[in-house]
């Protein structure tokens, strides 16, 4: 075989791929210009984006931050040049945030929302220190006190109801069995709130007047109002929705019928009709003479509304769970509540995270509806601002600002849900 | 050897109601029922006491009284002397109009956007993602007032159409005028119309022309279905499918065209007279804004549903159908679409439901739907909060329940039959 001239013994080094298939050019060829129709689409899209930007950018970048009225803006922008009038935002953004909350107390809502972050951190992120969990259940009382002010004894008295309920359970359960304990734990706090909490708080505050200036609900407005209503409804609707979903899945015929009736009724009517109920009818349903706060009434209705939707989402999660899980929990000898708590709920809730978060987003967006019954949420305030002589005729800037704020809140919520899904994912 | 013995007879004790699983569920249910009835009773007694204090017992007599307000966008005859009841009906029809229009446009837009979002063209799919996120994360009420503002601020006033130096002009060969007071479109007219027949004791009139058109259209579609079924049978028997599309199209269109000609169908075009347009159908800004905003908003949700539905069909299905020798359009219509629709339809219908309920936000732009008439002006004029709000809720509940009934029927029809 000596006539074999040359046999390569070592491999040739790899050559770089052709320049047209890698890098920016390759990417563009693959994703933008593969085929005639795609190229046409790409060009059309680029033209579309150019027109949008050409129309938006000069408008967005108009130097009107200092203007104090629409006329001043027009002077700055000059004739024939339609730029945005950002003066309205720089002048009114505090109002859009806090409504008519007294400016000297702005620190209170700010503190309340910062502390909300602290209270939620250990629930939302497992890198946060665990000790913060102690603060979380205390926050609702503390936050409400910061926002509404008044004597500190009222929230403490409300909190005392839960503490009393806990001890009632411990004492009675040890003496007369767990079921009697549950009944006592439900009964004692209710009796306390209905009959004792008010007088006790009143007496304590006359003895030891610790408190901050009370702020009327009428002063609430802007994003503060949206977030207050939204966060309350979100936090209360999840447990209520889980209970309703369990009721709907239950074998007990009457309980099931009640839950189905409630869920279908609430889901069948628009939120705005429920808000009409809150603004006009809820006082009629209460004992004569009762007149409680409009924000509280709205919170109750929004919570019930959100709970019905939440119940359907959770029910979807429960239904998606294989029957084997229920049977395995039974086979382990767990009772109903233990099975739910240890086996069913952790999995069902994990499945329903996307639905739960989109319900949250929906509830937060729906808080804008309170402007229709006359509360001054950002949208309600925008009407007031547009009616002002200095800003009469302003449209885009103020709606754009409100839309941007809502977008930031809702978009970050949806991103968080994606993060949570990734974190809890156990499949491959 | 053992003998079967009965378990020791236990005498009934009160604690067994709680600790014995045979009785416990009954106990819980009875307690729940009693609690529920107590709650209802408490609410009713409160309501009765409050209403007695206010001196206005529940009374639906106000429905017969003259409403005294005008509704500018309406489908049936109405004037300010008509009753509150009729105003409510006008409102209900307006709700249904915007809901149906909205559902149609939202579906069309949503399907297009959902498919484009799956496009392998990077820039197109990005634009669609931006659209979806933009609309999903901003409240629908904001979109409604925003679109309303766009219509009022950017469209030309009717006077811009006037004179020799008109700055605006009508579109679609001088038949549609888009102004800041609304859109004027041609209206269908019948020169040899059949007239109206009164129903419900002269309170409403239904156009016979409309009935005739619907009957002919229905018959045409039925005939076309018969032809399709026959083609199916022939295909099943022989393997060849006869070409039927021109026959089916003709069965629908030809009788309709003949009927329209017989009725003397023509269009009444809007024309500028004085300071405003006359003639044609006037779609007010409030209707357009609501319709557009609801469609754009719901389309974002529908787009996500369509995308999820298409992605839910595994690639193996397409490949298997290809291996069976099906052509691409048959793969789509016979294999992918039926399965994707099973995923798409239920959430799609619940989005229709949401759109219908969101149409109650019409009150923000002054469109007189049932919320604006019955729960808006009628409530304010008569002071009958309980009656009007309850009636309004029942109307929405009825709409929702009928849509859910359709959904359940569909779900049962396409359900996968499993073990």
Q: Is residue A257 part of a domain?
A: yes
What pLDDT is recorded for position B210? 81
A403 has a chain B CB within 8 A of its CB:
yes
What pLDDT is recorded for position B96? 92
Question: What one-character-per-residue DSSP string does B182-227 give?
Answer: EEEE-EEEETT---EEEETTTTEEEEHHHHHHHHHHHHHHHHHHHH
Q: Is residue B145 part of a domain?
A: yes
Residues A185 and A234 in one domain: no
Question: What one-character-per-residue DSSP string does A274-303 give?
Answer: HHHIIIIIHHHHSPTT----HHHHHHHHHH
The rounded mean pLDDT for chain A is 85
On the question of pLDDT at B41 being above 90, the answer is yes
DSSP state of A105: G
On the question of pLDDT at A81 being above 60, the answer is no
Closest C-alpha to B261, from B270, B253, B272 = B253
What pLDDT is recorded for position A305? 94
* Confidence label for A360 from pLDDT (cuts 50, 70 and 90): very high
B139 has a chain A CB within 8 A of its CB:
yes
Q: Which domain holds residue B347?
A: 83-156+275-369+381-419
User: Alpha-carbon distance B141 to B294, whole Å?
Assistant: 9
A267 has a chain B CB within 8 A of its CB:
yes
**Percentage, residues of chain B above pLDDT 70:** 92
Split into its structural domains, chain A has a count of: 2
A392 has a chain B CB within 8 A of its CB:
no
Which of B49, B134, B396 has its CB closest to that of A269? B396
Contact: A38, B396; criterion CB under 8 Å:
no
Taking CA atoms, what residue in A is nearest to B404?
Answer: A268
Q: Which residues contact A21 (CB under 8 A, 6 or more apart)?
A: A29, A30
Contact: B137, A399; criterion CB under 8 Å:
no
Residues A308 and A381 in one domain: yes
Residues A228 and A208 in one domain: no
Residues A196 and A224 in one domain: no
Taking CA atoms, what residue in B is nearest to A46?
Answer: B123
Taking residues B152-162, what's their average pLDDT?
79
* Confidence label for B300 from pLDDT (cuts 50, 70 and 90): very high
Contacts of B133 in chain A (CB under 8 A): 407, 411
Higher pLDDT residue, A259 or B314?
Answer: A259
Q: Is residue B213 part of a domain?
A: no
Q: Is residue B229 part of a domain?
A: no
What pLDDT is recorded for position A270? 92
DSSP 3-state percent helix, strand, coil across chain A (nearest 5): 75, 0, 25
The most distant pair of C-alpha atoms in chain A lies apart, rounded to whole Å, by 115
User: Alpha-carbon distance B360 to B362, whole Å?
Assistant: 5
A373 has a chain B CB within 8 A of its CB:
no
Contact: B137, A361; criterion CB under 8 Å:
yes
* Domain containing residue A348: CATH number: 1.10.3720.10
Taking residues B45-62, what's their average pLDDT?
84
Residues A96 and A171 in one domain: no
Closest C-alpha to A377, from A227, A169, A170 = A227
Query: C-alpha distances in angstroms, A146 versus A41, A120, A134, A155, A231?
Result: 55, 17, 19, 10, 15
> How many CB pairs below 8 Å do chains A and B form together?
151
Phi and psi angles of residue B91, each rounded to the nearest 5 degrees, phi first: -60, -45
Taking residues B331-349, what's their average pLDDT?
85
* Confidence label for B202 from pLDDT (cuts 50, 70 and 90): low
On the question of pLDDT at B134 being above 60, the answer is yes
On the question of pLDDT at B359 being above 80, the answer is yes
pLDDT in tens, A38-73: 888 889 999 999 999 988 888 888 777 777 777 788
Q: Is residue A76 part of a domain?
A: no
On the question of pLDDT at B405 being above 70, the answer is yes
Structure tokens at B227: 């032809």
Closest C-alpha to A118, from A105, A134, A141 = A134
Classify strands B182-185 and B177-179 as parallel, antiparallel or unpaired: antiparallel
**8 Å CB contact between B87 and B67:** yes
pLDDT in tens, A96-124: 888 888 888 888 889 988 988 888 888 88
Residues A327 and A346 in one domain: yes
Closest C-alpha to A298, from A394, A363, A244 = A363
Residues A330 and A244 in one domain: yes
Q: Is residue A238 part of a domain?
A: yes
Q: Is residue B147 part of a domain?
A: yes
User: Alpha-carbon distance B213 to B188, whole Å?
Assistant: 12
Structure tokens at A64: 């009107």
* Confidence label for B329 from pLDDT (cuts 50, 70 and 90): confident
Query: C-alpha distances in angstroms, A324 versus A320, A328, A339, B100, B295?
Result: 11, 6, 13, 43, 42
Calculate the CA A195 to chain-centre distance.
33
SS3 label, residue B83: strand
How far away is chain A from the Cα of B400, in angstroms, using its nearest Cα?
Answer: 5
pLDDT in tens, A228-286: 999 999 999 999 999 999 999 888 888 899 999 999 999 999 999 999 988 888 888 88
Contact: B121, A410; criterion CB under 8 Å:
no
Using CB atoms within 10 Å of the CB of residue B172, give its burial: 0 to 12 exposed, 13 to 18 middle, 19+ buried. Answer: exposed
Q: Which helix (H) or strand (E) holds B25?
A: helix B21-54
User: Alpha-carbon distance B2 to A199, whole Å?
Assistant: 69
Residues A238 and A208 in one domain: no
A412 has a chain B CB within 8 A of its CB:
no
B11 has a chain A CB within 8 A of its CB:
no
Contact: B149, A395; criterion CB under 8 Å:
yes
On the question of pLDDT at B132 being above 80, the answer is yes
CB atoms within 10 A of CB A17: 10
How far away is chain B from the Cα of A226, in angstroms, using its nearest Cα?
Answer: 12
Q: Is residue A317 part of a domain?
A: yes
Contact: A288, B375; criterion CB under 8 Å:
no
Residues A201 and A229 in one domain: no
What pLDDT is recorded for position A230? 92
Question: What one-character-per-residue DSSP string does A2-61 give?
Answer: TT------SPPPPPPPPTTTSHHHHHHHHHT-SSHHHHHHHHHHHHHHHHHHHHHHHHHT
User: Alpha-carbon distance A271 to A363, whole Å?
Assistant: 10
What pLDDT is recorded for position A310? 93
Q: What's the half-sphere exposure (Cβ side, CA atoms, 13 Å) at A238?
A: 14
Taking CA atoms, what residue in A is nearest to B386?
Answer: A281
How far away is chain A from the Cα of B343, in angstroms, using its nearest Cα?
Answer: 14
Which of B121, B138, B401 has its CB closest to that of A268? B401
Q: Is residue B394 part of a domain?
A: yes
Q: Which residues contact B193 (CB under 8 A, 6 or more apart)?
A: B207, B208, B209, B263, B264
Q: Is residue B49 part of a domain?
A: no
Q: Is residue B361 part of a domain?
A: yes
Q: Is residue B15 part of a domain?
A: no
Q: Which of A42, A282, A284, A358 to mutate: most B Cβ within 10 Å?
A: A284
Q: Is residue A62 part of a domain?
A: no
Contact: A252, B29; criterion CB under 8 Å:
yes
B37 has a chain A CB within 8 A of its CB:
no
The single residue listed with the structure tokens 């003259």 is: B66
Taking CA atoms, what residue in A is nearest to B127?
Answer: A45
Query: C-alpha distances in angstroms, B336 versus B109, B321, B413?
Result: 21, 9, 18
Contact: A379, B25; criterion CB under 8 Å:
no
Residues A163 and A296 in one domain: no
Radius of gyration over every alpha carbon of chain B, rounded to an integer in angstroms: 29
The most distant pair of C-alpha atoms in chain B lies apart, rounded to whole Å, by 116
A34 has a chain B CB within 8 A of its CB:
yes
* Domain containing residue B356: CATH number: 1.10.3720.10
A45 has a chain B CB within 8 A of its CB:
yes
Q: How far apart are the first and last CA of chain A?
A: 55
B14 has a chain A CB within 8 A of its CB:
no
> What's the complex ipTM?
0.86
Residues A379 and A324 in one domain: yes
Q: Which of B57, B127, B142 to mutate: most A Cβ within 10 Å?
A: B142
Q: Which domain holds residue A187?
A: 150-212
Contact: B119, A286; criterion CB under 8 Å:
no
User: Alpha-carbon distance A93 to A86, whole Å?
Assistant: 10
Calculate the CA A14 to chain-centre distance.
54
Split into its structural domains, chain B has a count of: 1
The single residue listed with the structure tokens 């936000």 is: B361
Contacts of A38 in chain B (CB under 8 A): 120-121
Q: Is residue A270 part of a domain?
A: yes
Contact: A399, B51; criterion CB under 8 Å:
no
A32 has a chain B CB within 8 A of its CB:
yes
What pLDDT is recorded for position A296? 87
Contacts of B149 in chain A (CB under 8 A): 395-396, 399
A372 has a chain B CB within 8 A of its CB:
yes
Q: Give one word for B205, left, alpha or beta, with left for phi > 0 and alpha for psi -120 to 50.
A: beta
User: Alpha-carbon distance B239 to A14, whole Å?
Assistant: 55
Using CB atoms within 10 Å of the CB of residue A357, give its burial: 0 to 12 exposed, 13 to 18 middle, 19+ buried. Answer: buried
User: Alpha-carbon distance B375 to B382, whole Å?
Assistant: 11
Classify strands B265-268 and B187-190 as parallel, antiparallel or unpaired: antiparallel
Q: Is residue A319 part of a domain?
A: yes
Taking residues B379-390, what's their average pLDDT?
86
Which of B32, B124, B385 has its CB closest to that of A254? B32
A258 has a chain B CB within 8 A of its CB:
yes
Question: What one-character-per-residue DSSP string does B296-341 give?
Answer: HHHHHHHHHHHHHHHHHS-HHHHHHHHHTT--HHHIIIIIIHHHHH
Closest C-alpha to A81, from A65, A103, A58 = A58
Q: What's the half-sphere exposure (Cβ side, CA atoms, 13 Å) at B225?
A: 6
Higher pLDDT residue, B280 or B360?
Answer: B360
**Percentage, residues of chain A above pLDDT 90:** 23
Residues in chain A: 428
B312 has a chain A CB within 8 A of its CB:
no
Residues A194 and A240 in one domain: no
User: Alpha-carbon distance A84 to B261, whole Å?
Assistant: 54
Taking residues B259-286, what's their average pLDDT?
78
On the question of pLDDT at A177 being above 80, the answer is no
């Amino acid at each position: 075989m000596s006539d074999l001239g040359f046999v390569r013994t070592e491999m040739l080094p790899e050559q770089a791929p052709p320049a047209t298939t890698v890098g920016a050019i390759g990417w563009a060829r693959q994703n933008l210009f593969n085929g005639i129709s795609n190229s046409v689409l790409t060009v059309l899209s680029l033209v579309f984006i150019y027109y949008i930007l050409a129309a938006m950018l000069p408008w967005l970048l108009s130097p009107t931050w200092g203007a104090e009225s629409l006329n001043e803006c027009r002077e700055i922008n000059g004739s024939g040049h339609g730029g945005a009038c950002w003066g309205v935002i720089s002048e009114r953004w505090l109002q859009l945030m806090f409504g008519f909350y007294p400016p000297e107390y702005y620190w209170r809502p700010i503190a309340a929302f910062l502390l909300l972050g602290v209270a939620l951190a250990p629930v939302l992120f497992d890198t946060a220190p665990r000790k913060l969990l102690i603060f979380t259940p205390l926050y609702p009382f503390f936050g409400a006190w910061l926002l509404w002010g008044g004597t500190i004894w009222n929230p403490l008295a409300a909190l005392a109801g839960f503490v009393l309920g806990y001890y009632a359970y411990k004492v009675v359960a040890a003496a007369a069995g767990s079921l009697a304990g549950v009944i006592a734990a439900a009964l004692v706090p209710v009796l306390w709130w209905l009959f004792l909490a008010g007088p006790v708080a009143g007496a304590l505050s006359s003895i030891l007047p610790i408190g901050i200036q009370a702020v009327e609900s009428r002063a609430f407005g802007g994003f503060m109002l949206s977030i207050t209503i939204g966060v309350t409804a979100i936090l209360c609707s999840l447990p209520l929705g889980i209970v309703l979903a369990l009721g709907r899945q239950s074998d007990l015929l009457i309980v099931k019928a009640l839950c189905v009736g409630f869920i279908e009724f609430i889901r069948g009517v628009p939120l705005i009709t429920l808000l009409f109920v809150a603004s006009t009818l809820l006082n009629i349903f209460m004992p004569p003479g009762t007149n409680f706060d409009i924000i509280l009434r709205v919170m109750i209705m929004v919570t019930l509304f959100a709970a019905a939707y939440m119940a359907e989402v959770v029910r979807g999660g429960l239904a998606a769970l294989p029957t084997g899980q229920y049977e395995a929990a039974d086979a382990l000898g767990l009772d109903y509540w233990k099975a739910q708590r240890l086996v069913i709920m952790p999995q069902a809730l994990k499945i329903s995270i996307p639905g739960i978060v989109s319900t949250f987003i929906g509830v937060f967006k729906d808080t804008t509806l309170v402007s229709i019954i006359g509360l001054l949420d950002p949208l309600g305030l925008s009407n007031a601002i547009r009616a002002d002589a200095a800003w009469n005729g302003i449209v885009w800037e103020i709606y754009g600002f409100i839309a941007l704020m809502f977008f930031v809140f809702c978009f970050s919520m949806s991103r968080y849900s994606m993060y949570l899904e990734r974190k809890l994912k156990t499949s491959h | 050897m053992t003998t079967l013995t009965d378990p020791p007879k236990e005498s009934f004790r009160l604690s067994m109601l709680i600790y014995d699983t045979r009785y416990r569920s009954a106990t819980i249910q009875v307690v729940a029922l009693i609690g529920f009835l107590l709650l209802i009773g408490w609410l009713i007694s409160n309501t009765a006491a409050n209403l007695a204090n206010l001196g206005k017992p529940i009374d639906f007599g106000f429905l017969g009284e003259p409403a005294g307000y005008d509704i500018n966008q309406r489908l049936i005859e109405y004037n300010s002397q008509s009753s509150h009841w009729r105003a409510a009906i006008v409102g209900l029809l307006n709700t249904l109009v915007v809901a149906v229009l909205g559902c149609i446009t939202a579906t069309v837009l949503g399907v297009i956007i959902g498919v484009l979002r799956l496009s392998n063209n990077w820039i197109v799919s990005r634009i669609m993602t931006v659209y979806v996120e933009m609309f999903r994360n901003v409240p629908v009420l904001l979109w409604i007032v925003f679109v309303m503002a766009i219509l009022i601020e950017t469209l030309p006033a009717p006077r811009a159409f006037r004179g020799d130096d008109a700055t605006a002009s009508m579109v679609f060969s001088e038949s549609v005028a888009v102004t800041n007071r609304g859109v004027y479109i041609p209206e269908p007219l019948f020169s040899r119309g059949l007239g109206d027949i009164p129903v419900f004791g002269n309170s409403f009139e239904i156009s016979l022309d409309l009935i005739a058109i619907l009957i002919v259209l229905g018959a045409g579609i039925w005939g076309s279905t018969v032809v399709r079924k026959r083609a199916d049978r022939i295909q099943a028997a022989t393997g060849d499918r006869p070409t039927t599309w021109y026959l089916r199209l003709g069965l629908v269109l030809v009788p309709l065209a003949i009927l329209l000609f017989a009725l003397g169908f023509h269009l009444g075009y809007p024309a500028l007279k004085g300071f405003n347009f006359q003639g044609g159908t006037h779609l007010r800004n409030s209707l357009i804004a609501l319709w557009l905003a609801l469609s754009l908003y719901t389309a974002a949700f529908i787009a996500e549903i369509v995308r999820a539905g298409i992605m839910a069909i595994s690639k193996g299905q397409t490949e298997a159908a290809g291996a069976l020798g099906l052509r691409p359009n048959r793969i789509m219509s016979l294999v992918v679409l039926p399965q994707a629709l099973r995923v798409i339809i239920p959430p799609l219908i619940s989005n229709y439901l949401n759109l219908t309920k969101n149409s109650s936000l019409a009150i923000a732009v002054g469109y007189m739907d049932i919320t604006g008439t019955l729960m808006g002006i009628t409530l304010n004029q008569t002071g009958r909060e309980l009656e009007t709000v309850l009636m309004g809720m029942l109307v929405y509940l009825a709409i929702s329940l009928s849509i859910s009934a359709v959904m359940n029927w569909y779900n049962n029809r396409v359900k996968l039959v499993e073990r």
